[in-house]
Amino acid sequence: MNYETLQIILEDKVAFITLNRPERLNSFDMQLGHELYEALSNVAQNHEVQVVVIRGTGKGFCGGGDVKEMHAAKDKSRFLRGLTRAIHRCVIEIRTMEKPVIAAVNGAAFGAGLSLALACDMIIAVKGAKMSTAFIGIGLAPGCGTQFVTKLLGYQRACEYILTSKTFTAEEACRLGLVNKVVDTTDQLDAAVEETVSTFKALPPIAVGKAKMLINKSMENDMISHLELESKTAAWSAGTEDFTEGVTAFVEKRKPVFKGK
Contact yes or no for 120/103 (Cβ under 8 A) = yes
pLDDT for 1: 72
- Backbone region of residue 224 per phi and psi (left: phi > 0; alpha: psi in -120 to 50; beta: other values): alpha
- Give residue 176's Cα distance to chain centre: 17
pLDDT for 224: 97
pLDDT for 238: 96
Q: pLDDT tens digits, the chain, 261 residues: what are they?
A: 789 999 999 999 999 999 999 999 999 999 999 999 999 999 999 999 999 999 999 999 999 999 999 999 999 999 999 999 999 999 999 999 999 999 999 999 999 999 999 999 999 999 999 999 999 999 999 999 999 999 999 999 999 999 999 999 999 999 999 999 999 999 999 999 999 999 999 999 999 999 999 999 999 999 999 999 999 999 999 999 999 999 999 999 999 999 999
pLDDT for 2: 85
Q: What is the DSSP string of the chain?
A: ---SSEEEEEETTEEEEEE--GGGTT-B-HHHHHHHHHHHHHHHH-TT--EEEEEESTTEEE-SB-HHHHHH-SSHHHHHHHHHHHHHHHHHHHHHSSS-EEEEE-SEEETHHHHHHHHSSEEEEETT-EEE--GGGGT----S-HHHHHHHH-HHHHHHHHHT---EEHHHHHHHTS-SEEESSHHHHHHHHHHHHHHHHTS-HHHHHHHHHHHHHHTTS-HHHHHHHHHHHHHHHTTSHHHHHHHHHHHTTS-------
